[in-house]
């Protein structure tokens, strides 16, 4: 059970006012808010441990290194990776995807196919398009239906021995759809394709078990799960990470350097060139601790309650249409009100202290699919309440009166 009063007290930002009104933060799918425990971990790092890692003989450097590597172990346990060196710290989901896409440059040839789902974030489309341009492989799109669910029959027919890579998101950021990833991974493996799952939108709600999923690559960002921006992780199976070439060259990722030849460091350092976001990595661990203390089952049950409550209330507004009505959904509602541009709704809601996202949510192909310029997206976290949803619905009715 979520003790909502206690949870809300953990988030100092929820006490502030916006435009003279108490903040109602419904833009959690873009970035989540930060609990005091995580803020304190940042303060503690810079107050006590700040030093560069893996290099110094002095105490601070060793302590910072220990904390950073402990965070890696924590993340290994959280995602149930077999080895801690399968956890690569990145600057976020986008970085992780680019790292893998770049690494596959040498493995793809003309005639090879890579499959992407129709409901991807731009960061899980563009790096692969760039990869296909470099290699001559072709990009094929797994279609979705009007509910916002992938067409699994079509996907089954698309798979062949030409398929080398399949990549898709665990949860769609624009629609909230939870994709049947275990089934997708199994099917892709039957034809020998590698699979990358973009977990940025899933990890705030679900605890993925990478060994049970048997996924080859899983990427995510800390800032959508109560952590700081600018840090994330790439999980990769050891055999893949050993095969992939380094992404960036620099310090930290080398074993020996001469002008004639450089040898690379072992995993995970081979993929961690330069001084990393040390504080970010450590604090990512603190964010995962915070969420695990609440419990992911508690989090997703509570958020599901909010989703059902808000969906019912919103559908009572005449002319309101929800995009993304998959059976399996996280607490994201994308919608439009007939005759009103989403941006205008977002602007009026902001005046009332309510933060939502408007636009294409970095998923333009989804908007093209529905033939709309964008949507209003309300995304709920475990610290939101039904009372906030009531205020939101009232505000929407007011906005509708003003705009029509």
Ligand X SMILES: *Cc1c(COP(=O)(O)O)cnc(C)c1O
> Which spans of this chain sit near ligand X (rule: CB under 6 A)?
92-94, 121, 123-124, 169, 173, 198, 200-201, 221, 223
Minimum distance between the CB of residue 368 and ligand X, rounded to whole angstroms? 17
CB of 234 to ligand X, least distance (A): 11
CB of 16 to ligand X, least distance (A): 24
Nearest of 290, 307, 320, 256 to residue 34 by alpha carbon: 290
Helices assigned H by DSSP within 86-165: 93-103, 126-135, 152-158
CB of 170 to ligand X, least distance (A): 8
| Active-site residue identified among 132, 226, 279, 362 | 362
**SS3 readout for 33-74:** CCCHHHHHHHHHHHHHHCCCCCCCCCHHHHHHHHHHHHHHHH
Place of tokens 């896409």: 101
Residue 179 burial class via C-beta count within 10 angstroms: exposed 0-12, middle 13-18, buried 19 and up: buried
Q: How far is the CB of 267 from ligand X (least distance, A)?
A: 22
Rounded CA gap, 95 and 255, in Å? 23
User: Can you tell me the distance from the alpha carbon of 389 to that of 94, in angstroms, rounded to the nearest whole number?
Assistant: 31
The dihedral sign for the CA sequence 328, 332, 336, 337: positive
User: Is 131:104 a contact under the CB 8 Å cutoff?
Assistant: yes
Instruction: Give the residues across from 379 on adjacent strands.
Output: 27, 332
User: b/e for 352-364, b at 16 or more Cβ within 10 A?
Assistant: bbbbbbbbbbbbe
CB of 358 to ligand X, least distance (A): 16
Distance CA 390, CA 154 (A): 40
To the query of whether residue 226 is one of the catalytic residues in this protein, the response is: no
Nearer to ligand X, 62 or 364 (CB): 364
364/250 Cα distance (integer angstroms): 35
Considering beta carbons, is residue 123 or 358 the nearer one to ligand X? 123
- The CA distances from residue 96 to 134, 156, 366, in Å, are 19, 27, 23
Cα 368 from Cα 6, distance rounded (Å):
42
Q: Which is nearer to ligand X, 199 or 346 (CB)?
A: 199
CA 219 – CA 98 distance, rounded (Å): 11
Q: 233 or 393: whose CB is closer to ligand X?
A: 233
Q: In this structure, are strands 232-236 and 87-90 parallel, antiparallel, or unpaired?
A: antiparallel
CA gap 38, 291 in Å, rounded: 11
Q: Which is nearer to ligand X, 26 or 49 (CB)?
A: 26
Pairing outcome for strands 24-25 and 163-169:
unpaired
Shortest distance, position 362 Cβ to ligand X, whole Å: 7
Instruction: Rank residues 203 and 348 by Cβ distance to ligand X and give the closer one.
Output: 203
CA torsion 217→80→288→378, rounded to 10°? 50
CB of 134 to ligand X, least distance (A): 21
Nearer to ligand X, 65 or 375 (CB): 375
Residues known to be catalytic: 362
């Amino acid at each position: 059970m979520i003790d909502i009063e206690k949870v809300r007290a953990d988030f100092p930002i929820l006490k502030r006012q916006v435009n003279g009104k108490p903040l109602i933060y419904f833009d959690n799918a873009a970035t989540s808010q930060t609990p005091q425990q995580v803020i304190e971990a940042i303060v503690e790092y810079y107050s006590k441990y700040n030093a560069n890692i893996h290099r110094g003989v002095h105490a601070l450097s060793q302590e910072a290194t220990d904390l950073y590597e402990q965070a890696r172990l924590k993340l290994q346990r959280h995602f149930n990776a077999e080895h801690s060196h399968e956890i690569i710290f990145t600057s976020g989901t986008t970085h992780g995807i680019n790292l893998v896409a770049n690494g596959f440059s040498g493995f793809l040839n003309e005639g090879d196919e890579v499959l992407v789902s129709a409901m991807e974030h731009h960061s899980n489309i563009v790096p692969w398009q760039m990869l296909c341009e470099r290699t001559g492989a072709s990009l094929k799109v797994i279609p979705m239906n009007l509910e916002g669910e992938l067409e699994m029959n079509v996907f089954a027919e698309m798979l062949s021995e030409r398929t080398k890579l399949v990549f898709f998101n665990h949860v769609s950021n624009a629609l909230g759809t939870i994709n049947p990833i275990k089934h997708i991974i199994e099917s892709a493996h039957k034809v020998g394709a590698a699979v990358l799952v973009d977990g940025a939108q899933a990890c705030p709600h679900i605890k993925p078990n990478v060994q049970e999923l048997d996924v080859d690559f899983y990427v995510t960002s800390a800032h959508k799960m109560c952590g700081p921006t600018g840090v994330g992780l790439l999980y990769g199976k050891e055999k893949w990470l050993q095969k992939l070439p380094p992404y960036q060259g620099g310090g930290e990722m080398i074993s020996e350097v001469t002008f004639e030849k450089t040898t690379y460091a072992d995993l995970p350092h081979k993929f961690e060139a330069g001084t990393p976001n040390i504080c970010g990595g450590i604090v990512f661990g603190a964010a995962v601790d915070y969420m695990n203390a609440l419990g992911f089952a508690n989090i997703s049950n509570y958020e599901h309650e909010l989703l059902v409550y808000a969906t019912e209330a919103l559908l009572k507004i005449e002319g309101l249409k929800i995009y993304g009505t998959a059976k399996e959904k996280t607490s994201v509602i994308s919608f439009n009100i007939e005759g009103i541009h989403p941006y205008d709704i977002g602007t009026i809601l902001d005046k009332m202290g309510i933060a939502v996202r408007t636009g294409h949510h970095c998923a333009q192909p989804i908007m093209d699919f529905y033939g709309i310029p964008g949507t209003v997206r309300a995304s709920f976290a475990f610290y939101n309440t039904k009372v906030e949803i009531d205020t939101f619905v009232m505000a929407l009715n007011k906005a509708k009166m003003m705009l029509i």
